[in-house]
Amino acid sequence: MLDIKFVRENPELVKENIKKKFQDSKLPLVDEVIAMDAKRRAAQQEVDNLKAERNKISKEIGALMSQGKKEEAEEAKAKVSKNSERVAELDKEYAELSEKIQKIMYTIPQMIDASVPIGKDDSENQEIEKFGEPLVPDFEIPYHTDIMASFGGIDMEAAGRVAGNGFYYLIGDIARLHSAVISYARDFMIDRGFTYVIPPFMIHGNVVEGVMSFPEMDAMMYKIEGEDLYLIGTSEHSMIGRFIDQIIPEDTLPQTLTSYSPCFRKEKGAHGIEERGVYRIHQFEKQEMIVVCKPEDSMFWYDKLWKNTVDLFRSLDIPVRTLECCSGDLADLKVKSCDVEAWSPRQKKYFEVGSCSNLGDAQARRLRIRIKGEKGNYLAHTLNNTVVAPPRMLIAFLENNLREDGSVAIPKVLQPYMGNKQELIPNKK
């Protein structure tokens, strides 16, 4: 969310930013919110003037009463009463305008970074760099659920009976592999200086509004019926929410955190052949990284975050690439974002396994997360990035480590988390 003062002083910049995001329908909102802000400030100024006048008259009443000028004192009291009625009217008007302004400000997108490429949608995202050699073996690679099934490792049919489409049972070595990847990712981030956190898996509605845009909320969040609670779609939500209404001492920054959580998503609009299996599902687990820092440090941390994910995937022998998200593919709160995509030998293409985002002060402004500095308080910057999100990450792992005989090699770094196994052997047919 932008500062209304910034919008008021830079309307053309804000409109140009909206155009870059191909959201021209929002252009009239800029002038609309500026006009509302002018009315609100005028109402506040009138309130201030009336209160000053009321204070002055109140003092005069005491003097008039002490002088025995009762009639004049009563006239003054009537003025105070009328004054108070007007103040009440203006306070109501101010509150109504503030609510309308906030609603509009929540829909005006954050200013994107100058380095963000301009494009309408994800088809215009730009490749930044590849890491590792993307190989295609000379044997056919089965679909990922078929690989899992060869180890007796998945049961989606039973999950469908229990919970419906978009759910799964992971079993045996595949379930263990899932947990091993999460545990390895946790320790990988701890070794890089991040503090491990397990957050709440439900959050209040005001936190939801603080961390994401309304279209995202509608497409993602499950609400607990009858309660002001939502299941988190990622631990970033509750991790950033932890700092709501907090003033963070400057010398405690940056806050570098890595969190584990289950994640729950509606996944509205999911379709296509690659949406089957466990690629796009309603429930999964994830290791996340979150940074709260000073504004001048956020781009430094943005680069560190996505590089952490690249390094982790490469340590598991998985080729990846980074993809810069274009302006039209950025959610409204994001300043800059890139995806990390893993190589799929079966599909002979890359697919998304993580996303790194710099949100500037957007979440901090909504949640009132401030930094206590020597010259006063100011808004923090927040960033987040996926470390790993199995079972999607398992797709990349299994495909890239599959051998022709159906066994799966376990990279050395993961072996301690798998009981020192060096490979997985499929069940005999």
CA angle 32, 370, 258 (to 5 degrees): 110
Sheet with 230-231, edge to edge strand ranges: 202-203, 230-231, 222-223
3-state DSSP assignment of residue 195: strand
Rounded CA-CA distance 416/414 in Å is 6
8 Å CB contact between 243 and 369: yes
3-state SS string for 357-379: EECCCHHHHHHCCEEEECCEEEE
Of 77, 105, 133, the residue at which a domain comes to its end is 105
Pairing mode of beta strands 230-231, 202-203: antiparallel
Residues 6+ positions from 354 with CB-CB distance below 8 Å: 309, 339, 340, 385, 386, 387, 388, 389
Q: How far apart are CA 396 and CA 185, in angstroms?
A: 15
Do residue 94 and residue 188 come from a single domain?
Answer: no
Q: Say whether both 273 and 205 belong to one domain.
A: yes
Regarding whether 142 and 30 lie in a shared domain, the answer is no
| CATH classification of the domain holding 141 | 3.30.930.10
170 close to 154: Cβ distance less than 8 angstroms: yes
Query: Looking at the structure, do residues 211 and 139 belong to the same domain, yes or no?
Result: yes
CB neighbour burial string for 22-38, b if at least 16 within 10 angstroms, e if fewer: ebeebeebbeebbebbe
- Average pLDDT, consecutive stretches of 10 residues, N- to C-terminus, the chain (429 residues): 95 98 97 97 93 82 74 80 90 96 95 97 96 95 96 95 92 97 98 98 95 80 94 95 97 98 80 64 94 98 97 96 97 96 96 96 97 95 96 94 96 97 89
In this structure, are 259 and 349 located in the same domain?
yes
Which helix (H) or strand (E) element contains residue 4?
helix 4-9
Q: Are residues 134 and 11 in the same domain?
A: no
Q: pLDDT, tens digit, for every residue of 334-391?
A: 999 999 999 999 999 999 999 999 999 999 999 999 999 999 999 999 999 999 999 8
Q: Can you give the pLDDT at residue 429?
A: 56
The domain in which residue 81 lies consists of 4-105
Of 209, 182, 133, the residue nearest 386 (C-alpha): 182
Using alpha carbons only, give the angle 51, 54, 56 rounded to the nearest 5 degrees: 115
173 with 84, same domain: the answer is: no
Alpha carbon 31 to chain centroid distance?
28
* Exposure b/e, 372-387, CB count within 10 A at least 16 = b: eeeeeeebbbbbbbbb
Are 230 and 223 within 8 A, CB to CB?
yes
Give a yes or no: residue 420 inside a domain: yes
pLDDT digit string, tens, across residues 254-264: 999 999 999 99
Look at residue 117 and tell me if it is in a domain.
no
Residue 116 located in a structural domain: no
* Residue 158 and residue 97 share a domain: no
Q: Which contacts of 397-400 are long-range, i.e. CB under 8 A and separated by 24 or more positions?
A: 397/177, 397/181, 397/316, 397/318, 398/144, 398/147, 398/148, 399/141, 399/144, 399/147, 399/344, 399/345, 399/346, 400/317, 400/318, 400/319, 400/342, 400/343, 400/345
Domain assignment of residue 115, yes or no: no
pLDDT at 214: 72
Span between the terminal Cα atoms of the chain, in Å: 57
Using CA atoms, how far apart are residues 370 and 379, in angstroms rounded to an integer? Answer: 4
In a domain, 114, yes or no: no
Half-sphere exposure of 38 (CA within 13 A, CB side): 7
Q: Please check whether residue 181 lies inside any domain of the structure.
A: yes
Distance CA 400, CA 409 (A): 9
Of 105, 136, 163, which residue is a domain's last? Answer: 105
Q: Are residues 90 and 134 in the same domain?
A: no
> Which of these, 369, 392, 373, 390, lies nearest to 239 by C-alpha position?
369
One-letter amino acid at 195 equals: T
What pLDDT is stored for residue 269 in this prediction? 52
Q: How far apart are CA 324 and CA 415, in angstroms?
A: 33
This prediction's pTM: 0.90
The number of domains in the chain is: 2
Q: What is the reported pLDDT for 274?
A: 45
Residue 282 is encoded by which pair of tokens? 């309603």
From residue 19, alpha-carbon distances to 13, 32, 33, 34, 176 in Å are 10, 17, 17, 18, 48
What H or E segment, with its residue span, contains residue 396?
Answer: helix 392-401
Q: Does 289 lie in the same domain as 140?
A: yes
* Residue after which a domain boundary falls, among 50, 76, 105: 105
Tokens found for residue 394 = 């398992």
pLDDT of residue 273: 34
CATH number at residue 60: 1.10.287.40
Clarify whether residues 87 and 206 are in a common domain.
no
Instruction: Please state, in angstroms and rounded to a whole number, the distance separating the CA atoms of residues 108 and 166.
Output: 33
Asked if residue 162 and residue 23 are part of one domain, the reply reads no
**Tokens (6 digits) for 210:** 């603080």
CA atoms of 118 and 146, how far apart (whole Å): 40
Distances in whole angstroms, Cα of residue 402 to Cα of each of 151, 271, 275, 340, 396:
12, 27, 21, 21, 10
